[in-house]
């Protein structure tokens, strides 16, 4: 049975499989990046590990990032922080569709807008009291579907409660950085 | 004067301008997302605000995100958390190129690989002690350029110290989520 394009039988089977064999839930996602020129660089995404096995997609995904000219870049792609906003909106939306399916609520339309405020005096090193990242992020959803307004808003609330990216922005993550000269 | 494709005159002029007029440093970045089907959704990135004005790029950027089949998706694009890894690698690399230019160090090659470990029992709601996001992220840089090994490794260290995305992963960000039924 499919609701919102989500095969709920697979969804519940996955949950049951992981309940019985927790090591299936251990995933590793990866990306690699190469500097191109100036602030322009390119990331490649493909393989990942999960359910005890390696997965390779049919083709690599490539994403260019850069700074705009006003930030000494050449605008060959969005800024890294815009990709972070994309990650947040996408994570909440994917989760919302799964949650709606699990609850038997058919969706018609889900849109969101996300914005982040940043004071560049942080990354420019001009004021130690200004953080490097976004001071605040706001995301606003509009959901159309079969449920009551309370049910539809409840989908967003549960998506927030179970979002990997929302968690990583609102709670600290251990990030290790290594460097070698080659 | 350009080093590593970074116009250092513009870089230092930007820093001086912001020193004298801090409100120029206030930027807002944005993205919008639309659900497509299942866990597949698409983000659009274009306009942003900064240096007291609105900017619009010549064309919208579009990014598809999805879950892989093993996570009830159809793999129409990377997962949201892979875009987050991309954002981290891109942010550190863009910063590194600027810092190298500011220090007069010519770069030949900068590559990085980043990986994140996630236990899906968090987002599946199976274990309240398991977080939703990555338990740990590791990023490893290889830098080739004119400096000594210590100088090249120092670029990565300073990039980390001034990275917007690194900051947002390792320190909490205020994220507000609103929802309306339409």
Neighbours of B78 (CB within 10 A): 28
Give me the pLDDT at residue A97, please.
97
The pLDDT of residue B61 is above 80: yes
Give the position of tokens 């274009």. Answer: B46
**CATH superfamily to which B79-182 belongs:** K homology (KH) domain (3.30.300.20)
Contact B139, A178 (CB under 8 A): yes
- ipTM comes to 0.98
pLDDT over 90 for what percent of chain B? 90
Residue B54: in which H helix or E strand, if any?
A: strand B53-55
Contact A127, A121 (CB under 8 A): yes
Interatomic CA distance for residues B5 and A39, integer angstroms: 8
Test the B interface: residue of A33, A55, A59 with most B CBs within 10 Å: A33
Q: Is A31 on the interface with B (CB under 8 A)?
A: yes
Give me the pLDDT at residue B2, please.
86
Inter-chain residue contact B142 with A171, CB threshold 8 Å: no
Q: In whole angstroms, what separates CA A175 from the centre of its chain? A: 16
For chain B, the structural domain boundaries read 79-182
Contact A155, A143 (CB under 8 A): yes
Nearest to A114 by CA among B29, B171, B163: B29
Inter-chain residue contact B112 with A32, CB threshold 8 Å: yes
Chain B residues touching A123 at Cβ < 8 A: 95, 162-164
Inter-chain residue contact B83 with A87, CB threshold 8 Å: yes
**pLDDT tens, residue by residue, B30-49:** 999 999 999 999 999 999 99
The pLDDT of residue B142 is above 80: yes
Test the A interface: residue of B39, B75, B154, B172 with most A CBs within 10 Å: B39
Which residues 122-141 on chain B approach chain A with CB closer than 8 angstroms? 122-127, 131-141
Interatomic CA distance for residues A73 and A67, integer angstroms: 4
Chain B residues touching A51 at Cβ < 8 A: 70
The pLDDT of residue B70 is above 90: no
**pLDDT tens, residue by residue, A25-47:** 999 999 999 999 999 999 999 99
* Mean pLDDT computed over B69-81: 93
Coarse DSSP helix, strand, coil percentages of chain A, rounded to the nearest 5 percent: 35, 35, 30
The pLDDT of residue A72 is above 90: no
CB pairs under 8 A between A and B: 491
Inter-chain residue contact B174 with A116, CB threshold 8 Å: no
* Mean pLDDT computed over B8-23: 90
Interatomic CA distance for residues B26 and A124, integer angstroms: 12
Which residues 59-88 on chain B approach chain A with CB closer than 8 angstroms? 61, 63, 65-68, 70-75, 77-88
Predicted confidence band of residue B169 (pLDDT cuts 50, 70, 90): very high
Inter-chain residue contact A90 with B80, CB threshold 8 Å: yes
Contact B173, B138 (CB under 8 A): no
Interatomic CA distance for residues A87 and B79, integer angstroms: 8
Give me the pLDDT at residue A92, please.
98
The pLDDT of residue A70 is above 90: no
Give me the pLDDT at residue A1, please.
72
Give me the pLDDT at residue B157, please.
98
Give the position of tokens 């799964």. Answer: A98
**pLDDT tens, residue by residue, A111-151:** 999 999 999 999 999 999 999 999 999 999 999 999 999 99
Q: In whole angstroms, what separates CA A24 from the centre of its chain? A: 21
Chain A residues touching B173 at Cβ < 8 A: 133-134, 136-137, 169-170
Which residues 88-107 on chain B approach chain A with CB closer than 8 angstroms? 88-98, 107
Give me the pLDDT at residue B1, please.
72
Mean pLDDT score across all residues of chain B: 96
The pLDDT of residue A2 is above 90: no
Mean pLDDT score across all residues of chain A: 96
Inter-chain residue contact B113 with A25, CB threshold 8 Å: no
Nearest to B86 by CA among A144, A79, A164: A79
């Amino acid at each position: 049975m499919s609701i919102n394009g989500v095969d709920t039988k697979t969804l519940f089977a996955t949950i049951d499989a992981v309940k019985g064999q927790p090591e299936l839930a251990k995933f590793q996602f990866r990306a690699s990046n190469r500097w191109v020129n100036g602030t322009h660089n390119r990331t490649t995404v493909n393989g990942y590990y999960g359910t005890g096995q390696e997965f390779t997609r049919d083709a690599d995904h490539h994403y260019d990032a850069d700074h705009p000219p006003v930030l000494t870049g050449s605008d060959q792609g969005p800024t890294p922080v815009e990709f972070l906003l994309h990650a947040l909106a996408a994570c909440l939306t994917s989760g919302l569709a799964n949650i709606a399916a699990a609850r038997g609520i058919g969706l018609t339309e889900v849109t969101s807008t996300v914005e982040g405020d940043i004071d560049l005096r942080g990354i420019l090193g001009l004021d130690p009291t200004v953080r490097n990242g976004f001071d605040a992020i706001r995301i606003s959803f509009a959901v159309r579907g079969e449920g009551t307004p309370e049910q539809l808003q409840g989908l967003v609330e549960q998506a927030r409660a179970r979002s990997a990216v929302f968690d990583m922005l609102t709670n600290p993550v251990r990030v290790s950085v290594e460097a070698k000269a080659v």
